[in-house]
A and B are shown apart, each in its own frame.
Chain A
Amino acid sequence: MQRRDFLVALAGLGAFGLDAAAAVEFAPVLPGYRLAFPADHGAHPDFRTEWWYATGWLNLPEGSPLGFQITFFRVRTGIGEENASAFAPRQLILAHAALADPALGHLRHDERSARLGFGRAGFATDQTKVWVNDWRFEQQGDNYRAEVRSAEFAYALDLVTSGPPMLNGRAGFSTKAADLRHTSYYYSRPQLKVDGMVMLAGKTRPVSGQAWLDHEWSSEALAPGAQGWDWIGINLADGSALMAFRLRGAADTALWSAATFRQADGSTRSFPPEAVAFEALRQWRSPRTGIAYPVEWRVRLEQRLFRLQVLMDDQELDSRRSTGAIYWEGAVRLLEDDREVGRGYLEMTGYGEKMRLG
């Protein structure tokens, strides 16, 4: 999923000056590779970028909802491959975390970044285990644990799986454009049951909820001409799961779309571009950046028509000061026939400046 590519790119440190990367052979994403677990839960340092991306809805004890997001990016920079220094920035770990609290009205977010080494950041290759400073995301058995500490908020969450990974695209080979170079290995873990603690406004409280995990890795930068993308990952109340994305061109035209739908019984179906459509219904303009984001959507998946309703309008994440990225990443409800059928996350990028990728 290039959306994360974009984030990494904007992480200022993130993406990849092609000139710097030119000297290094990144591992290619090839069709026909069969994802093998648990090894593919771990990191793939030969590839250029990789991320573990958990999003979900939490409920506070009194019942009010919270959205959460935690992302760990791994970046192979192509720099310092020959450098004997222990600081050589061959691999970077970047992490973003956010909490959407309707009581506050906008996101709390923070981030950490570090190069590999000196115990400051690292990853495992045989299981999911990635950390930067005291932030970590790791597998315990087949389940996951996320820990984030920031001045404004903190959380420690256990994410319990409910079935095998959901492979997106063609058995995990996810195409991003008509040109097959723009592909990634991509699987999701929907319908994660969450339990844990959240510290907000100085108070630590127990929470529970549902979450979604993406794990994706690739080497090829985003297709040229893409302005941004829209992505959703939704846990439906009936136990099914929906992932859909589209890449937008300069004039908000869809360059490419795809979706995966898993039934509650585990049967999974991938949809081609023509089966997926996103239509914006309502705009919200950020008072901080002046950027307008569509905050109500109609999503068509073949014959089924869904509507997306956001938990709150302002879930813009402005990290220009540190990483340069402005995007919208927030909790949404999925409605079908005006009835809520699921909850998940919506991500929208490229609505401000035209994004630049290396």
Chain B
Amino acid sequence: MAVQAVHEAALREFERGLRTMAGAADLQVVGPRGGFDENIYAQLAGRPEVAEASPVLELQVKWAGSESEETLQVLGIDIFALARVTPVLLPKPASTADRLASLAEDNVFLSRAAQTALGRQPGDEIELQAGTQRRRFRIAGDIPGAADNRRLAVMDIAAAQAHFGKLGRLSRIDLKLADDVAPAAARPALQAMLPAGVLIEVPEASAEQAGNLSRAYRVNLTLLAAIALLTGGFLVFSAQALSVVRRRTEFAFLRALGLARRTLFTWLLAEGAIVGLAGGIVGVILGQALAWGALTMLGGDLGAGYFSGLQPTLQFQPLASAVYVALGLLAGVAGAWLPAREAATVSPAQALKAGGETTLLGGRGHPMLGLGLLAASLAACAIPPIDGLPLGGYLAVACLLAGSVLLLPLVAAGIARLLPERGPVPARLAAARLVAAPGHAVVAAAGVLTSVALAAAMAIMVASFRDSVDQWLHQLLPADIYLRAGQTQSSAYLDEALQVQISTVNGVDRSNFTRHANLRLAAGKAPVALIARTILADGSNLPLVGPVRLGEQPAIWISEAMLDLYGWRVGQTVALPLAGQLVELHVAGIWRDYARQTGAIMIDLADYRRLTGDRLANDAGIYLAADANTEQVAAALTAMAGPGVLEISRPGEIRALTLKIFDRTFAVTYLLEAVAIAIGLAGVAASFAALAAARRREFGMLRHLGLSRRQIGWMLAQEGALAAGVGVATGLLAGGAIGLVLIEVVNRQSFHWSMDLHVPWASLALFALGLVALAALAAVLAGRQAMRQDAVLAVREDW
């Protein structure tokens, strides 16, 4: 519920932002990050089917005093065209006296959200970073039509081109078509006029891209939440079942007094429904509170970084809430169904006799069905992603869980058979109970199983992921110092003079420069990152997966996502739109990329410069001379530009930061795991409490036979531990399998990256032992009430 609410809030915000951006545009012309030739604008604007064309230069810009990850989206616009195509973005001068404010070269207009974020108001000045320079602008007004939460700045397009070194370049053209022209009809003719790598899209496409980007992540989280919900449902089920069992005698009385079967059945169902409803309502309230907390602390993407620059607001969603309440209700009714039927059908005379409760939950389960489900999960793994979602993977997870729950009685019986028949009396009693009435243990263990399986699977996946990311960073960051002009790859760069200067700083042995660009390869798909850096001929300085095949043409190295999304293969020749021309390049190998789900291509910097003529760089990896002092070199490098313009970092810091972000991203999954575990433990406690109440007579009998309370306590603890042990053992097995599915199927299909398996044995073992101990404790605590009763009284009940 909480997860759902947070995501709805974030997505709504995102879509609204995009709608604002697109405004009334019928079509959009988009290109790579570096932009495209502005003369395309003249050609398109002159077309008869185009009523108006609005040229846009879009930049992500840092401002003086910004945190390193914070950027401002700056749009260079032609106000005249904007007024006719996307009027919502019209800037409004703060002072009406200055009527040319929107054209003035040093004026910038900030949306309310940007003003708040920057702590500045119209009339104030602001310094924006262009390349490695800082430019001073005056805040001349706001953008009244911009979405409330969008950090946006608008300035004249000529000013933006000149200030940010983008003369002759545009990043987007919004088109408004003539009244009688349908977008679908105009698109092919207009597309034919455009150079390679510049595409025409329907504005909604970018909304879809953005949605798709985070969708896999969202679906994963929702699935986790669903598993937690399932476990919760299981808890309701078992609690309800046991509470009915405990009251068998009462029901028998009622039946004997003339209560009809149907009525009793309906009553019990109603009781289950009320419990489920109450639980559902409390859950929704808690969920809203949690969502609020999570939004405040982690942001709309729950820390995953998909929606930076947005501040979503939480809204109460009646429909989703109703669905969750209904799910709670359903769990309650389902939990009550079987025992209610049993209570209603059994003959009163039989039920009035003691000891009948064991019959209910016995049985050997459905081992064949369980095995069948396990086999089905294998088959499900082979299903390719459907609409970009790893549905097969999720199906496999569900089959694995259900299968192992069904096999649980078999496992319990097996474990019981393995237990030694010696030892102290309480232990033998506990073991005997497991053998004789595995049903009770199974009810408690099933909850534990689901939660353990989930937790173990996530732990294995996260550990593998983290380990692989760490190794990947090692391979990608071999230099001693990294220097970059800022995170904003569109407006911050190192020019050639600065590159030479960097190489000649005292103590620098050599430096490798990297250029970040991107390419549009297909309409409707998100842009693909193009990374130009120094690459050895055999690609050995890349985190390669699979074989390398070199060819005649210049080599490119593609990330795993390119394989999945575009179907490219090693050894293939592909045509890339570089600088407006299609260039034939050879796919030499595949590398692992954890940074860009939408695909990335690496090319040697020398090749890139030769093919595009683009000689700028975004960052530099610097190797120090043997005797150089890191601090001194770093200081000398920073001093080359104004304070705060160049960022220096060491690989260690980058790794630490990356892993910090990684951990933050997974914080919410830890939270969900903790919730699942808590629910599992609550299941153990609830089932033992219910059973203990029903077993008062048994305890009384044991007391009569000379067992001390402490011994009964021990017996209960061992029963709890045994039940939990069965659940934990099965859960670990199932969890391992699910973890594999997550790594090999779900992650691969959702995010298009592979990882090396890394099982955190120690923490899993610790976790398992801890859980067993906790379950034992829970069982003892739950049984205390029943044990406290007087032995004689307890036995007297049995008449």
Binding site for B on A (CB under 8 A): 9, 11-17, 19-20, 77-80, 83-89, 92, 113-115, 118-120, 133, 151, 322, 356, 358
Contact A87 B158, CB 8 Å, known A13-B80, A120-B42: yes
**Min CB distance, A125 to chain B, in Å?**
21
Q: Which of A14, A80, A85, A115 has the most CB of B within 10 A?
A: A85
Chain B 50-77 per-residue mask, 1 if CB under 8 angstroms from chain A, else 0: 0010010000000000000000000000
Number of interface residues of B (CB under 8 A): 32
> How many residue pairs between the two chains, A and B, have CB atoms under 8 Å in the bound complex?
92
A17-B100, A120-B42 known; 12 new pairs, CB 8 Å cut-off, are A15-B100, A16-B100, A79-B105, A80-B159, A84-B162, A86-B158, A87-B156, A87-B158, A114-B78, A119-B45, A119-B46, A133-B52
> In the complex, which residue of chain A has the Cβ closest to the Cβ of B44?
A118
Option from B41, B101, B159, B168 in Cβ contact (under 8 Å) with A83:
B159
Interface status of B552 (Cβ within 8 A of chain A): no
Q: Which of B38, B101, B104, B168 has the most CB of A within 10 A?
A: B104
CB atoms of B99 and A86 under 8 A apart: no
- Residues in chain A near residue B42, CB distance under 8 A: 118-120
**Min CB distance, B172 to chain A, in Å?**
14
- Residues in chain B near residue A151, CB distance under 8 A: 179
Q: CA A118 – CA B54 in complex, angstroms?
A: 12
Contact A87 B100, CB 8 Å, known A80-B105, A113-B80, A151-B179: no
CB atoms of B162 and A17 under 8 A apart: no
- Residues in chain B near residue A15, CB distance under 8 A: 99-100
Q: CA A113 – CA B99 in complex, angstroms?
A: 15
> In the complex, which residue of chain B has the Cβ closest to the Cβ of A119?
B42
Binding site for A on B (CB under 8 A): 38-39, 41-42, 45-46, 52, 55, 78-81, 83, 96-105, 156-159, 161-162, 167-168, 179
Q: CA A65 – CA B79 in complex, angstroms?
A: 37
CB atoms of B41 and A118 under 8 A apart: yes
CB atoms of A13 and B79 under 8 A apart: yes
CB atoms of B105 and A86 under 8 A apart: no
Q: CA A19 – CA B98 in complex, angstroms?
A: 8
CB atoms of B158 and A13 under 8 A apart: no
CB atoms of A356 and B102 under 8 A apart: no
- Residues in chain A near residue B38, CB distance under 8 A: 86-87, 118
Contact A20 B161, CB 8 Å, known A14-B99, A87-B78: no
Q: CA A155 – CA B100 in complex, angstroms?
A: 31
* A interface majority secondary structure: loop
**Min CB distance, B60 to chain A, in Å?**
20
CB atoms of A13 and B100 under 8 A apart: yes
- Residues in chain A near residue B167, CB distance under 8 A: 84-85
CB atoms of A17 and B98 under 8 A apart: yes
CB atoms of A16 and B99 under 8 A apart: yes
Q: CA A14 – CA B83 in complex, angstroms?
A: 14
Q: CA A13 – CA B93 in complex, angstroms?
A: 11
Q: What are 30 A-B contacts with C-beta separation under 8 Å?
A: A9-B99, A11-B99, A13-B79, A14-B99, A16-B100, A17-B99, A17-B101, A20-B98, A20-B104, A77-B103, A83-B158, A83-B159, A84-B162, A84-B167, A85-B157, A85-B158, A85-B159, A85-B161, A85-B167, A86-B38, A87-B55, A88-B158, A92-B80, A113-B80, A118-B39, A118-B41, A119-B42, A151-B179, A358-B97, A358-B99
**Min CB distance, A201 to chain B, in Å?**
15
Q: CA A338 – CA B754 in complex, angstroms?
A: 93
CB atoms of B97 and A17 under 8 A apart: yes
CB atoms of A20 and B97 under 8 A apart: no
- Residues in chain B near residue A118, CB distance under 8 A: 38-39, 41-42, 45
Q: Which of A20, A87, A88, A92 has the most CB of B within 10 A?
A: A87
CB atoms of B100 and A79 under 8 A apart: yes
**Min CB distance, B170 to chain A, in Å?**
9
CB atoms of B81 and A20 under 8 A apart: no
CB atoms of B100 and A114 under 8 A apart: no
CB atoms of A17 and B104 under 8 A apart: yes
Option from A12, A87, A92 in Cβ contact (under 8 Å) with B157:
A87
CB atoms of B168 and A86 under 8 A apart: yes
**Min CB distance, B100 to chain A, in Å?**
5
- Residues in chain B near residue A133, CB distance under 8 A: 52
**Min CB distance, A134 to chain B, in Å?**
9
> In the complex, which residue of chain B has the Cβ closest to the Cβ of A77?
B100
**Min CB distance, A270 to chain B, in Å?**
32
Q: CA A119 – CA B43 in complex, angstroms?
A: 9
Q: CA A288 – CA B769 in complex, angstroms?
A: 79
- Residues in chain B near residue A77, CB distance under 8 A: 100, 103
- Residues in chain B near residue A20, CB distance under 8 A: 98, 100, 104
Contact A120 B45, CB 8 Å, known A17-B101, A85-B167: yes
**Min CB distance, B297 to chain A, in Å?**
43
CB atoms of B80 and A114 under 8 A apart: yes
CB atoms of B162 and A79 under 8 A apart: no
> In the complex, which residue of chain B has the Cβ closest to the Cβ of A87?
B158
- Residues in chain B near residue A17, CB distance under 8 A: 97-101, 104
**Min CB distance, B103 to chain A, in Å?**
5
CB atoms of A87 and B161 under 8 A apart: yes
The 10 A-B residue pairs with the shortest CB-CB distance, nearest first, are: A118-B42, A87-B158, A85-B158, A17-B98, A85-B161, A88-B158, A113-B80, A89-B103, A87-B157, A17-B100
**Min CB distance, B57 to chain A, in Å?**
9
- Residues in chain A near residue B46, CB distance under 8 A: 119
**Min CB distance, B523 to chain A, in Å?**
25
**Min CB distance, B564 to chain A, in Å?**
40
Contact A83 B162, CB 8 Å, known A17-B98, A119-B42, A120-B42: yes
**Min CB distance, A105 to chain B, in Å?**
25
> In the complex, which residue of chain B has the Cβ closest to the Cβ of A81?
B105
**Min CB distance, B197 to chain A, in Å?**
21
**Min CB distance, A87 to chain B, in Å?**
4
**Min CB distance, A48 to chain B, in Å?**
11
- Residues in chain A near residue B97, CB distance under 8 A: 17, 356, 358
> In the complex, which residue of chain A has the Cβ closest to the Cβ of B96?
A356
CB atoms of A12 and B98 under 8 A apart: no
**Min CB distance, A15 to chain B, in Å?**
5
**Min CB distance, A352 to chain B, in Å?**
14
> In the complex, which residue of chain A has the Cβ closest to the Cβ of B76?
A87
**Min CB distance, A300 to chain B, in Å?**
36
Q: CA A84 – CA B38 in complex, angstroms?
A: 13
- Residues in chain B near residue A14, CB distance under 8 A: 99-100
- Residues in chain A near residue B99, CB distance under 8 A: 9, 11-17, 358
**Min CB distance, A29 to chain B, in Å?**
21
Q: CA A67 – CA B45 in complex, angstroms?
A: 31
**Min CB distance, B39 to chain A, in Å?**
8
**Min CB distance, A197 to chain B, in Å?**
19
> In the complex, which residue of chain B has the Cβ closest to the Cβ of A17?
B98
- Residues in chain B near residue A115, CB distance under 8 A: 78, 80, 158
- Residues in chain B near residue A19, CB distance under 8 A: 98
Q: CA A356 – CA B97 in complex, angstroms?
A: 7
- Residues in chain A near residue B168, CB distance under 8 A: 86
**Min CB distance, B166 to chain A, in Å?**
9
Q: CA A86 – CA B37 in complex, angstroms?
A: 12
**Min CB distance, A6 to chain B, in Å?**
12
**Min CB distance, A189 to chain B, in Å?**
29
Q: CA A78 – CA B46 in complex, angstroms?
A: 27
Q: CA A88 – CA B160 in complex, angstroms?
A: 10
CB atoms of B102 and A85 under 8 A apart: no
> In the complex, which residue of chain B has the Cβ closest to the Cβ of A84?
B167
Q: CA A83 – CA B38 in complex, angstroms?
A: 16
**Min CB distance, B257 to chain A, in Å?**
80
- Residues in chain A near residue B96, CB distance under 8 A: 356
Q: CA A120 – CA B99 in complex, angstroms?
A: 22
Q: CA A92 – CA B38 in complex, angstroms?
A: 19
CB atoms of B80 and A83 under 8 A apart: no
Q: CA A15 – CA B93 in complex, angstroms?
A: 14
**Min CB distance, A322 to chain B, in Å?**
6
**Min CB distance, B43 to chain A, in Å?**
9
- Residues in chain A near residue B158, CB distance under 8 A: 80, 83, 85-89, 115
- Residues in chain B near residue A84, CB distance under 8 A: 162, 167
**Min CB distance, A52 to chain B, in Å?**
19
